[in-house]
Amino acid sequence: MRDFSHDHRWLSINTATVRKQGDLLAIVEACARHGIRAISPWRDQVAAIGLARAVAAVREAGLDLSGYCRGGMFPADRAHAAEMRDDNRRAVDEAVALGAPCLVLVVGGLPHFSRPGSAPSHDLAAARAQVEDGIAALLDYAKPAGMPLAIEPLHPMYAADRACVNTMAQALDICDRLDPGRTGALGVACDLYHVWWDPDLFAGIARAGRERLLAYHVCDWLVPTRDLLLDRGMMGDGVIAMRPIRRAVEAAGFSGYSEVEIFSEQNWWQRPMDEVLATCIARHREVV
Amino acid sequence: MRDFSHDHRWLSINTATVRKQGDLLAIVEACARHGIRAISPWRDQVAAIGLARAVAAVREAGLDLSGYCRGGMFPADRAHAAEMRDDNRRAVDEAVALGAPCLVLVVGGLPHFSRPGSAPSHDLAAARAQVEDGIAALLDYAKPAGMPLAIEPLHPMYAADRACVNTMAQALDICDRLDPGRTGALGVACDLYHVWWDPDLFAGIARAGRERLLAYHVCDWLVPTRDLLLDRGMMGDGVIAMRPIRRAVEAAGFSGYSEVEIFSEQNWWQRPMDEVLATCIARHREVV
Q: What is the pLDDT of residues B176-226, one digit of tens each?
A: 999 999 999 999 999 999 999 999 999 999 999 999 999 999 999 999 999
- Mean pLDDT over residues A165-186, rounded? 98
Q: A112, A118, A239, A247: best mutation site toward chain B, by most B Cβ within 10 Å?
A: A239
Nearest CB to A157 within list B110, B155, B239:
B155
Q: What is the per-residue pLDDT for B152?
A: 98
pLDDT tens digits, one per residue of A70-94: 999 999 999 999 999 999 999 999 9
Cβ-count burial of A98 within 10 angstroms (0-12 exposed, 13-18 middle, 19+ buried)?
Answer: buried
Query: How far apart are alpha carbons A269 and A262 in whole angstroms?
Result: 9
Count Cα atoms within 13 angstroms, Cβ side, for A284.
24
Which residue in A157, A198, A223 is closest to B160 by CB distance?
A223
Number of A–B residue contacts, CB under 8 Å: 70
Centre a 10 Å sphere on the Cβ of residue B147 and count the other Cβ atoms it contains. Answer: 23
Mean residue pLDDT of chain A comes to 98
User: What are the residues facing A217 on neighbouring strands?
Assistant: A191, A259
Q: How far is CA A193 from CA A151, A223, A260, B266, in A?
A: 15, 13, 11, 27
| Ramachandran angles phi, psi of B219, nearest 5° | -170, -155
Average pLDDT over residues B42-69: 98
Rounded mean pLDDT, B61-75 = 98
Is B197 in contact with A124 (Cβ distance < 8 A)?
yes
- Tens-digit pLDDT profile for residues A93-143: 999 999 999 999 999 999 999 999 999 999 999 999 999 999 999 999 999
Across chain B, mean pLDDT equals: 98
Q: Would you say the C-alpha torsion B3, B149, B261, B126 has a positive or negative sign?
A: negative
φ/ψ of A162, rounded to 5, equals -120, -40
Set of chain A residues whose Cβ sits within 8 Å of the Cβ of B161? 223-224
In this prediction, residue B126 carries a pLDDT of 98
DSSP element (H, E) containing A105? strand A103-106
User: What pLDDT does residue A43 have?
Assistant: 98
The ipTM, to two decimals, is 0.97
Q: Does B151 touch chain A (CB under 8 A)?
A: no
Predicted pLDDT at A97: 98
Q: Note whether B156 contacts A159, CB cutoff 8 Å.
A: no
| Domains contained in chain B, CATH given | 11-286 (3.20.20.150)
Give the pLDDT confidence score for residue B260 in this predicted structure: 98
For chain A, give the percent of residues with pLDDT over 70: 100
Print burial letters for B94-129: b (CB count within 10 Å at least 16), e (below 16): bbeebebbbbbbbbbbbbbbbbeebeebbebeebbe
